[in-house]
Structure 1
């Protein structure tokens, strides 16, 4: 019997008030205390099997939360499962499932919402109909009515029967185009970035553009669109000639891949610039999130250091690709830290990053950071350790359109279940960055250290402690 995994969506309010200074509402009632649970909603699919959330978005008016991922279907392996919730109560509004033509595993990895809030777009990979007993994945992008969950269209992308694995979907600011990117195996037999533009109303394909790196393998991980809708930014990894002698105390790494960020014209798909990145230890470096604020593009992920993995966040000039600043984060346990998602406040002044960071237990916590977008200075750090005090693995981050909340979703071990959905809402206003000393470990690093890797040169921007920990 397959292990049962029940999905759970959890909203938690983190208030920036100091103890004893929780603000009251205009009616005189007190707001929820820091860390109090606002609501929780759970989703268990049709066969009581595995249900895994992967991406979350908030509607433009803040009234709905959309979550997508995959869920065990009846005789179909995994299916896409997309859900809408009331943002105020957590009540489930609708659920829509998608089983592709291959009637086998279909996994949704990304969700976005049209600017007017009328449509929800989901992408991922979906098995095609087998040929000679072989069934590879296609990109499968779907549009839903945001009010009812009714499917509006589905578009699939296939490069001559080879493997195609979409990772991210984004909608243009005017709502007329939908952009999808991911890994696609080309005619050379090597993978590359494949970025596709669709008409948001009909799903018709507008253009396709590819980036092959050095021609021996590349994988687009994520993308964003400039606020004015003129540029599309894609980041991912590309294979390089192995670099000898690179290892850490946590991992052995041959330095087989670096990352590359590419800018395209949103109208034609023409490449505007490309910026490769190789971390300071020259090991395997992976980007996982990208966001733009109009003047800059922010990319976050993990880098190999001489010790373990750390978060790294880079800021590029949106017009030229020039590097503006970069910051790393080493969590309190001096072990692996990997950033998975990044978002920007609506006014463009703050950058939010989330990922998995080993905490007090030997397991990952959610670790979410806020940076000043212009300088990279750390504003605050928030960590979430689930009820089982076991593995917590965030996958996605969204900022509410009014800029008041940051929402993080992912998987978290439950106390009586296996893996659950866990979605955390954080108040986005500035919180005090508490400094707490951590002893040097056997590897010669302090925990909770932020390191400025570029721009003004090496130096600490601040430290994280146990901030408002639940």
Structure 2
């Protein structure tokens, strides 16, 4: 768990945000509010877009009412960013936005930038994709009250440049917004821009560009003048900085100076530390801090440390400078990360101490905080903090309250709890510790179910992750009693997880997963194990040269797996076949082009035993992916055909699921970037013989925003069921049925609410009815929780047969991962509830209906459960439209009678569902 950003609200309370480990579910954005007085946690809110995904905050602002806005990057194999606002009092979600055409990796901030005006409106600076698929610097303004988009502007590039990168954003007292960044020129010098837009409507007020002032950072003073700090281009020897002040009205240069005071030893490794940080005091003087070094003329060697300098507001003259020498004699270096000023103009610096201080292991770090006097830069005090784990303790951000007390947040090694959020308050006078709070997340005890299956008796077997190891368990059909469990020793390798489980012809269970080794250059290897049905004893186990992201058995009990492998030279698609006794029969590696990152996710096996895999191949240079699907011979792994899909926007296209029909034709589905409006469902059917495209369908939801399929199934007639998340309409959980022949839409169904929801898995029962599971927004006080949502839809028309929502005892974040259905209609769903592995089993116990003739009609009789309501429906054919006749509540004893005296001519069908 790593805190990265900190802010203070008008009442003096402290808000921090960062990432918390979700185990195999990736990293989530965690925001916590502490009382400024005593450090008591007031509320917390957690956002995770999905599983196997990393959501990382990049910006945090607080408005004058204390409402908290967080923005970050959500990496689900696509390039997306996320913004949410939480209520000051309890962290309830006010509004949120998700955008899906944002290239990740080029921006210095690694995510969107935020600003807030005096009215609470939010400015967002981000890179977006233009119509040509290249990056553009964009600014948008949202209403703080309800998140409505007020305006958005995309910077107009010079004709000679072709990609923009945004580096910083600031908002002045009048509510205008300033951004800085760079424009790449492939045929000449790149240009570096500082651009100001009117807060009212986004009108361009002015722009200034240079060719020799790179990586500009911007701040504004009390008059709205813009301070720009950056590095001189191609000055790698001294790494000199420039500081410039530009007029608020028109951007004209008021003064500029070169700063050699930050001279850095070119041989010094920065270890990820920023080159410089800047702050403006109440008198508009400028404070700058950064990694530095001073040449000792006696020894002729550089002495490392950091330097803090104060420049005058009027002309940029140096008022004072202080160099804090790192005491290399005892083996550590101080690296600043943040700077701020208190109301008296004193400077506060935080960062970390890298090296061997007080018996820390080499290359580990401690918190560091220091205070410098406003008048002359004297060091007033400094404080160090070493966590109990004697590992990495890294102060990443700081803030100051009106009394001059200092708040610092970051990450700290807690020993067994690994990296934790660590937030502390220090007294203004002497730096004494006033309070400290550690948040150790849930990943140490976290467990997640990834996949589920049922045996012939209806017993349930799940596999996933618990602690740091793979975990598989078997539960009794009738009671859910734990029959056996099997764990791997993941702590020795850095975290293992089961990803798939299948029952073989003998009733034993084959489990596949990955081994996340931290002790090898080739990380993320895989395993396959066969476990005895009786007690979970390992019958055999095989280690693989790639992950086992998905696994299936062929008709002879042979095991097919797919995943990815990695060496020091790059990544590759990995597919392997093992015999029923675990012997490796063949393995294949696909790594074309070599510069791409290859991420297969799912596989299927056709009747002939051939294996088809799908996933994403991502360009390292542009960080944009394409669907990649390949068919391999079951006999020897020879490549039979391959198919790549790059959508019309030439953006990010991410394959998530695959299915095969009885004729061996292949269906793949996922999300595909669709220009300015985000992403669409994309589904394609390929001929099994040669991979020729038989048909393809795109779906853009009613909100013209984020739409992505996550799961696919094919029924006995070859019709295709796709499901996933679709923004807008009556709910985000979206399922559609396409005709086998041409992909024509048969029916579609929406469920859930309007927040961060989506179907994650789909399957079919013996009658062809569709079972889906996903996460649906809960009703918790933070607005950031979710529940399991599971439903059965009728095969013919998608009518809801039943739907269930499960909320775990913690009442927080419940997300399903897999679903399975037994021959007797038992449905098992596994995932995590409150980050504990949780499996829910449903039994369909619909009442038996009797029909008796009565004068002028029929009398329906059935027995329900007292207090429950039942929907009675009628149709003239099984494939027809169902009409609701009544919705009676079962009385005491449960007996219900309903007379239908308005019969249609011919045949009638009736069905009863719990309402």
Unaligned runs of 5+ in 1: 15-30, 244-254, 435-465
Q: Which residue of 1 aligns with 2:210?
A: 211
Distance 2:387 2:47 in 1: 18
Q: Does residue 65 of structure 2 align to residue 65 of structure 1?
A: no
CA apart distance, 1:65: 2.7
Assess if the C-alpha contact under 8 Å between 2:405 and 2:425 holds in 1. yes
Q: Which residue of 2 aligns with 1:378?
A: 379
Assess if the C-alpha contact under 8 Å between 1:300 and 1:314 holds in 2. yes
- The DSSP-based 3-state class of the residue aligned with 2:188 is coil
CA apart distance, 1:227: 0.8
- The DSSP-based 3-state class of the residue aligned with 2:283 is coil
CA apart distance, 1:322: 0.4
Assess if the C-alpha contact under 8 Å between 2:103 and 2:127 holds in 1. no
- Correspondence for 1:121 among 98, 120, 123: 123
Assess if the C-alpha contact under 8 Å between 1:366 and 1:393 holds in 2. yes
Q: Which residue of 1 aligns with 2:287?
A: 298
Q: Does residue 252 of structure 2 align to residue 270 of structure 1?
A: yes
Q: Which residue of 2 aligns with 1:43?
A: 47
Distance 1:416 1:9 in 2: 23
Q: Does residue 348 of structure 2 align to residue 363 of structure 1?
A: no
- Corresponding residue pairs, total: 391
CA apart distance, 1:108: 2.8
The one-character-per-residue Cα deviations of 1:312-347 (angstroms, maximum 9, x if unpaired) are 2211011101011122445787534332332333x3
Assess if the C-alpha contact under 8 Å between 1:183 and 1:219 holds in 2. yes
Q: Which residue of 2 aligns with 1:445?
A: none
- The DSSP-based 3-state class of the residue aligned with 2:111 is strand
CA gap 1:394/1:302 in 2 versus in 1, 3 angstroms: same
Matches within 5 A, 1:70-469: 70-73=73-76, 76-77=78-79, 79-87=80-88, 89-100=90-101, 107-116=110-119, 118-129=120-131, 131=132, 135-157=133-155, 158-160=157-159, 161-175=161-175, 177-185=176-184, 189-213=188-212, 218-220=214-216, 222-229=217-224, 231-241=225-235, 243=237, 255=238, 257-279=239-261, 282-284=264-266, 286-305=275-294, 310-329=305-324, 334-345=331-342, 347-358=343-354, 360=360, 362-381=363-382, 390-391=391-392, 396-399=397-400, 402=402, 422=421, 424=423, 426=425, 429-433=427-431
Distance 2:291 2:116 in 1: 27
TM normalised by structure 1 equals 0.70
TM normalised by structure 2 equals 0.38
Assess if the C-alpha contact under 8 Å between 2:231 and 2:241 holds in 1. yes
Assess if the C-alpha contact under 8 Å between 1:184 and 1:219 holds in 2. no
CA apart distance, 1:410: 5.8
CA gap 1:195/1:105 in 2 versus in 1, 3 angstroms: closer
- Which of the pair has more CA radius of gyration? 2
Assess if the C-alpha contact under 8 Å between 1:53 and 1:410 holds in 2. no
- The DSSP-based 3-state class of the residue aligned with 1:108 is coil
CA apart distance, 1:279: 4.0
Assess if the C-alpha contact under 8 Å between 1:55 and 1:396 holds in 2. no
Assess if the C-alpha contact under 8 Å between 1:159 and 1:185 holds in 2. no
Distance 2:144 2:424 in 1: 21
CA gap 1:120/1:261 in 2 versus in 1, 3 angstroms: same
CA apart distance, 1:383: 5.2
- The DSSP-based 3-state class of the residue aligned with 2:27 is coil
Assess if the C-alpha contact under 8 Å between 2:305 and 2:324 holds in 1. yes
CA gap 1:151/1:322 in 2 versus in 1, 3 angstroms: same
CA gap 1:82/1:219 in 2 versus in 1, 3 angstroms: same
The one-character-per-residue Cα deviations of 1:355-409 (angstroms, maximum 9, x if unpaired) are 3433645434443433333322334445566787654555554556x56665556
CA apart distance, 1:101: 6.8
The one-character-per-residue Cα deviations of 1:49-70 (angstroms, maximum 9, x if unpaired) are 1111223222234x22333221
Q: Which residue of 2 aligns with 1:5?
A: 27
Distance 1:191 1:418 in 2: 42
Q: Which residue of 1 aligns with 2:683?
A: none
Q: Which residue of 1 aligns with 2:849?
A: none
